[in-house]
Amino acid sequence: MSASVAFVLKGYPRLSETFIAQEIRTLEQWGLDILIVSLRRPTDAERHPIHREIKAAVVYLPEFVCREPFRVIRAWLDTRRRPGYRAARAQWLRDCRRGPSIARVRGFFQALVLAHEIPARVTRLHAHYLHWPASVARYAAIITGLPWSCSAHARDIWTTSEWEKREKLRDVDWLVTCTAVGRQHLATLAEHPERIQLVYHGLDFDRFPEPRLRACEGSGGNGSAPLVILSVGRAVEKKGYATLLGALARLPQHLHWRFTHIGGGPLLPSLRRRAEDLGIDDRITFLGPQAHDIVVENYRTADIFVLASQFAGDGDRDGLPNVLMEAQSQGLACVSTELSAIPELIEDGVTGLLVPPNSEQPLTAAMARLMADHELRAKLAAAGRKRVRERFSHHRGLHALARKFGLSAPMVRECA
């Protein structure tokens, strides 16, 4: 093995982060020795099959100092004698003055434990997300002298303060991000924009069966055979589910449909209440978080996929949601919004339909158009699936990532 890398994750395992598990599993297969360092313990009851395939050991850092005080004290007694401790502490204090938060305090103590407990074989720290995990990796790297790198995604890019992004981009060895719009934004803040590379997540098509043949002639006009509209995503503001429910309520009365939502999230109770207030709760099924096989089965039995991504009040937004690629891989016609990197996947009228974010009426019109026109559904579904398979295979991006971790190109080609 050419290297050993500690992956610093916000939480592990997480149902909403299949793309990270997919990356870890593939890099393991290609020869990378990985240690998973999780800042939180898992909260999801379910696990995807891929989580059971990952062989990497997992270390959980203390999320609350009061629960493991002696572990933190031992780490402090050790790391305070190291050459990098004073520099890490000074950096942390500067960060606290400019952006004080409980998470920043917690992150420094977690970095102390990571620096104290990290196995000697580890030669690099790699953070997934530019906010909290990157802070922990950065402080620990200063203490230990190890290089650190980062994968930036969506919320972490758009909600992290500009000064913090600039400084992390200055210090990071290299960074990859999963959208062209994210890469462009970070490059404008970086002293060394060449360190920032676009690497799409993509899909492992071996984990997704061939799409089933759909009877696309349905138009929502048959009350005994309503069209199934599906959405998969966490119930959080940036996913736009309140807007989507409002758009569903506006659909013409002669159209017959059912809506299925898969995903957890803090807004689920309020979404259920909104569905009741709109008088459409009898047409809606909230399945909550589900494992991969259940999600795939719902892709295969739905008629239309909708994701109404929007800007959240704190600036958070989607990047390029993997669920759109997953839905397209299963031959689903997709409706989404002209937001962030979604147009990098969906070309309006060619591989799907796009509407403005935060707008019920255009979303209603797009869904009604697809429901009424089975030929358009079939056309967009076929074009979307072709685009995903040609441009968004996860092996394409992982080749570049593997080389950054020191895996030889011949090894990558042999295993791909």
Query: Is 218 found in the same domain as 278?
Result: yes
Kindly list the distances between the CA atom of residue 262 and the CA atoms of 10, 47, 188, 265, 339, in Å, as whole numbers in the listed order.
22, 14, 36, 10, 21
Query: Is 376 found in the same domain as 259?
Result: yes
Residue 256 has pLDDT above 60, yes or no: yes
Encoded tokens for 184: 């462009």
Encoded tokens for 238: 């940036």
- Alpha-carbon span 216 to 303, nearest angstrom: 8
306, 335 in Cβ contact below 8 A?
yes
- Alpha-carbon span 90 to 337, nearest angstrom: 43
Query: Is 138 found in the same domain as 195?
Result: yes
Residue 415 has pLDDT above 70, yes or no: no
Please count the structural domains in the chain.
2
Distance separating the N- and C-terminal Cα atoms of the chain: 17
Could you give the 3-state DSSP secondary structure of residue 218?
coil
Query: Is 95 found in the same domain as 223?
Result: no
Query: Is 232 found in the same domain as 219?
Result: yes
Query: Is 194 found in the same domain as 230?
Result: no
Where helices occur in 38-101 by DSSP H, the ranges are 49-53, 69-79, 85-98
- Residue 315 Ramachandran class (φ > 0 left, ψ -120 to 50 alpha, else beta): left
> What pLDDT shows up at residue 414?
42
In this predicted model, what pLDDT tens digit does every residue of 140-190 receive, in sequence order? 999 999 999 999 999 999 999 999 999 999 999 999 999 999 999 999 999
Question: Can you say whether the dihedral through the CA atoms of 60, 47, 318, 393 is positive or negative?
Answer: positive
- Alpha-carbon span 1 to 83, nearest angstrom: 29
> What pLDDT shows up at residue 213?
67
Range of the domain at 343: 206-391
Average pLDDT over residues 344-353: 97
Query: Is 215 found in the same domain as 193?
Result: no
> What pLDDT shows up at residue 217?
57
Average pLDDT over residues 228-242: 97
- Alpha-carbon span 109 to 111, nearest angstrom: 5
Q: Is 412 exposed, middle or buried (0-12, 13-18, 19+ CB in 10 A)?
A: buried
Query: Is 228 found in the same domain as 308?
Result: yes
The residue length of the chain stands at 416
Query: Is 351 found in the same domain as 341?
Result: yes
CATH classification of the domain holding 317: 3.40.50.2000
Phi, psi of 315 (to 5 degrees): 95, -5
411, 31 in Cβ contact below 8 A?
yes
With cut-offs at 50, 70 and 90, classify the pLDDT of residue 43.
Answer: confident
Query: Is 229 found in the same domain as 155?
Result: no
In this predicted model, what pLDDT tens digit does every residue of 269-310 receive, in sequence order? 999 999 999 999 999 999 999 999 999 999 999 999 999 999
Encoded tokens for 71: 């572990």
283, 258 in Cβ contact below 8 A?
yes
- DSSP string across 282-307: GGEEEEES--HHHHHHHHHH-SEEE-
- List of residues 6+ apart from 273 with CB closer than 8 A: none
Phi, psi of 413 (to 5 degrees): -65, -40
Kindly list the distances between the CA atom of residue 102 and the CA atoms of 91, 105, 176, in Å, as whole numbers in the listed order.
16, 5, 27
pLDDT cut 70: percent of the chain above it: 95
User: Which residue, chain included where needed, has tokens 């204090």?
Assistant: 93
Kindly list the distances between the CA atom of residue 227 and the CA atoms of 192, 223, 301, 331, in Å, as whole numbers in the listed order.
50, 9, 10, 15
> What pLDDT shows up at residue 409?
47
If one compares 218 and 113, the residue with the highest pLDDT of the two is 113
Query: Is 210 found in the same domain as 168?
Result: no
Residue 58 has pLDDT above 60, yes or no: yes
Residue 22 has pLDDT above 80, yes or no: yes
Query: Is 185 found in the same domain as 83?
Result: yes
Average pLDDT, the chain: 93
Encoded tokens for 38: 């999780």
Kindly list the distances between the CA atom of residue 173 and the CA atoms of 186, 330, 378, in Å, as whole numbers in the listed order.
14, 38, 45
